[in-house]
Amino acid sequence: MITLFASIWVCDSAAYFVGRSFGRHRLFVRVSPNKTWEGAAAGFLAALGVFQLARVLVLPYMSVADALVCGIIAGACGQIGDLAESLLKRDAGVKDSSSLIPGHGGVLDRFDSLLFVAPLVFVYLDFIVF
């Protein structure tokens, strides 16, 4: 679970910082106008990196391929979850889902990706790895 949270949060952070610094090509302007392809690519690579690092440090039962698949799931589906939550907020006409965590768009912004990623990683681990 810690690796899952880390991969999602590192993905979000890498996408944000790289997108802000180097982003030129908008991802889905209608849904989330500040997200860029450059940020999405950085987030995806960061999620892959977190799972590979976790495989070495704390998940010895995972092969390189298993960590790669979990990283792909986290990197791709996590960002889809983030876009889905942005679409819900846009449809509701609100900028943040709550004000509990200032500057983060609300609690849902910290966990939206988890709703998409956790079930898929669980299914992969349960049926393929174990």
Give mean pLDDT, residues 109-116.
Answer: 85
Cβ pair 40, 68 in contact under 8 A = no
Alpha-carbon torsion 118, 81, 112, 26, what sign?
positive
Distance (Å, whole) CA 63 – CA 55: 7
The full set of domain ranges for the chain reads: 2-129
Predicted TM-score of the model (pTM): 0.89
Token digits of residue 57: 């440090």
Q: Is the pLDDT of residue 104 over 60?
A: no
Q: Is the pLDDT of residue 103 over 90?
A: no
Give mean pLDDT, residues 50-54.
Answer: 98
**pLDDT at res. 128:** 93
